[in-house]
């Protein structure tokens, strides 16, 4: 079924709607593909992010997943009990834990990555290599632009002005 274009919305104002829709559809496709796997979609995302950034801190994972650090801690507990991740305390600060992929997670990560690749291929269908590269480069540039704005933090909240 063809998507309808809302009346009165210029192409320039559609960026947020399009990116939101694409993300929602990517997630839905991926969730359908991993529905028979042993982890919840949220735990898949957590495991994927730990694999993407080995040694990241729990607070970083919470920011990336847009959930509370307490929730991330509980999720890491579940993955740790299954032998999929391990925590290591920061040598200079025992309150800080870094999270790493455990060796036992290898086969599961391979399955997750294969399913994610199927979703990516579906999303890129009909696009040639140049279009794919241009899209990814444009999105990376947009991310860089938005991260570089000193008035906005990584969560999208306005930073408080410095007191003078």
**How far is the CA of 151 from the CAs of 123, 143, 160, in angstroms?**
33, 15, 8
SS3 163: coil
Token code pair at residue 4: 């309808």
Residues contacting 40, CB < 8 A, separation 6+: none
Highest mean pLDDT among 8-17, 30-39, 118-127, 148-157: 118-127
Q: Which of these ranges, 6-10, 116-120, 128-132, has the smallest mean pLDDT?
A: 6-10
Predicted confidence at residue 49, as pLDDT, reads 94
Give this prediction's pTM: 0.74
Q: Domains in the chain, start-ordered, CATH in brackets? A: 38-147 (1.10.10.10)
∠ CA 29-34-40, rounded to 5°: 110
Token code pair at residue 112: 């997750």
Average pLDDT, rounded, for the chain? 87
Enclosing H/E stretch for 75: helix 69-81
Q: 79-107: per-residue pLDDT in tens? A: 999 999 999 988 888 788 899 999 999 99
Please give the average per-residue pLDDT across 10-17, as a whole number.
77
pLDDT at 163 over 50: no
Token code pair at residue 92: 């200079």
Q: By the 8 A CB rule, do 73 and 58 touch?
A: yes
Query: Phi then psi for 156, rounded to 5 degrees?
Result: 90, 0
Predicted confidence at residue 154, as pLDDT, reads 57
Predicted confidence at residue 164, as pLDDT, reads 34
Q: 18-72: per-residue pLDDT in tens? A: 999 999 999 999 999 999 998 998 999 999 999 999 999 999 999 999 999 999 9
């Amino acid at each position: 079924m063809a998507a309808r274009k809302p009346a009165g919305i210029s192409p320039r104002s559609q960026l947020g709607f399009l990116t939101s829709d694409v993300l929602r559809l990517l997630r839905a496709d991926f969730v359908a593909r991993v529905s028979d796997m042993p982890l919840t979609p949220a735990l898949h995302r957590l495991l994927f992010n730990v694999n993407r950034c080995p040694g990241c801190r729990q607070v970083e994972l919470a920011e990336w997943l847009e959930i509370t650090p307490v929730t991330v801690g509980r999720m890491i507990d579940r993955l740790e009990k299954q032998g999929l991740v391990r925590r290591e305390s920061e040598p200079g600060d025992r309150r800080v834990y870094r999270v790493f992929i455990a060796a036992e997670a290898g086969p599961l990560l391979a399955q997750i990555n294969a399913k994610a690749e199927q979703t990516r291929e579906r999303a890129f269908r009909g696009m040639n290599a140049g279009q794919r590269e241009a899209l990814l480069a444009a999105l990376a540039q947009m991310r860089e632009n938005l991260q570089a704005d000193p008035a906005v933090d990584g969560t999208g909240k306005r930073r408080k002005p410095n007191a003078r």
